[in-house]
Amino acid sequence: MSKFWSKRTHELDPYVPGEQPKNTQYIKLNTNENPYPPSAQVLQSIHDASSGDLRLYSDPNADELKQAIADYYAKYAVEKNNVFVGNSSDEVLAHTFVALLKHDQPLLFPDISYSFYPVYCRLFGINYQMIPLSDHFDIQPEDYSRTNGGIIFPNPNAPTGKALSLQTIETFLTQHPDSVIVIDEAYVDFGADTAIALVRQYKNLLVTQTFSKSRSLAGLRVGFAIADAELIAGMERVKNSFHPYALSREAIAGATASIKDAKSFENNRQKIINTRERITPLLEQLGFSVIPSSANFVFAKPPAGHTAEQLYQQLKQQNILVRYFNAPRIEQYLRITMGTDDEMDTLLETLRLILAD
């Protein structure tokens, strides 16, 4: 603690990311990264952007990327003025909290969800309430039938991997017409339906996505939001009051190439889905209880006689990292990211040996 810190700094309880080891000895199944690299054309675009023009500022509006995203979602009547881009979806969410979710009434979100939400609330001084998931880890619209200053949740949810239907999301939108409803779709490409399909119909809906997961660009830090132009204008006011040149030339070029490279995206996405569908019953055969997942990870409870924390430590000793959350209601679960098939086979064999002992 420092006497020079502000009162707000003293009160913060920062977000804790998954372990990022500085060596390469681990099989990393703990941070939901894509196990497959970006395509050659994405890497070439990043290389081409790393020229002498780096002495110049990037386009503060990132028009090329916004147009590429709008074109990608043209079937939902998305236009460029419906698109906001930022330096990772975390930054996009931060601007969302300030621009659209800071009101007198509390912001609502699930008690088991992305742990950055309460961090942002404390950072920005936003009143909030966490709504308990059901006993089966479901988000239920009736539980949110209370006065609020906005609602936010991931779909699929994290760390559970459970997804809501568009019909259920519409229930939120119609029941709360005067509140902004934010759907955080970091994992949507692995099995859920995007709420972008509803943006044209509902002016109180904002959808965020990231290039980190399904598009293999976690290191490039690019995210975006799609919403009615009025909501996007509010986001731009905040961004341009904080960080006008949010995206580098390389980030704009790489993300633009990625959104245009449908073949590579679909190939990697489908491989991860196939791996998840293969691994889930194999974990169940080992005695795990696995929650049905629409994400690039599974949330699994170890068999009787084994604790999640114990298994996490034992796997780490065998150079395999998974995510353990020492938190109420989920302290007996492990979140396991889908790696390559070889990595997942190593995980399964290691688990067999551990459980046999």
Give the DSSP letter string of 64-115. HHHHHHHHHTGGGT--GGGEEEESSHHHHHHHHHHHHS-SSSPEEEESSS-T
What CATH number belongs to 40-260? Answer: 3.40.640.10
Domain ranges for the chain: 18-37+263-356, 40-260
Q: Which two tokens stand for residue 129?
A: 């309430």
Query: From CA 84, how far away is CA 356, in angstroms rounded?
Result: 51
DSSP state, residue 283: H
Question: Tens digit of pLDDT per residue, the chain (357 long)?
Answer: 788 888 888 888 887 777 778 776 899 999 999 999 999 999 999 999 999 899 999 999 999 999 999 999 999 999 999 999 999 999 999 999 999 999 999 999 999 999 999 999 999 999 999 999 999 999 999 999 999 999 999 999 999 999 999 999 999 999 999 999 999 999 999 999 999 999 999 999 999 999 999 999 999 999 999 999 999 999 999 999 998 999 999 999 999 999 999 999 999 999 999 999 999 999 999 999 999 999 999 999 999 999 999 999 999 999 999 999 999 999 999 999 999 999 999 999 999 999 998
CATH of 18-37+263-356, one of 3.40.50.700, 3.90.1300.10, 3.90.1150.10, 3.40.50.410: 3.90.1150.10
Write down the residue that tokens 């955080």 correspond to. Answer: 184
pTM, two decimal places: 0.95
Distance CA(147)–CA(132), nearest Å, equals: 16
**Fold agreement (18-37+263-356, 40-260):** no
321 CB-near residues (< 8 Å, 6+ apart): 18, 19, 21, 26, 27, 28, 29, 30, 315
Pick from 287, 286, 284, 346: nearest CA to 321: 346
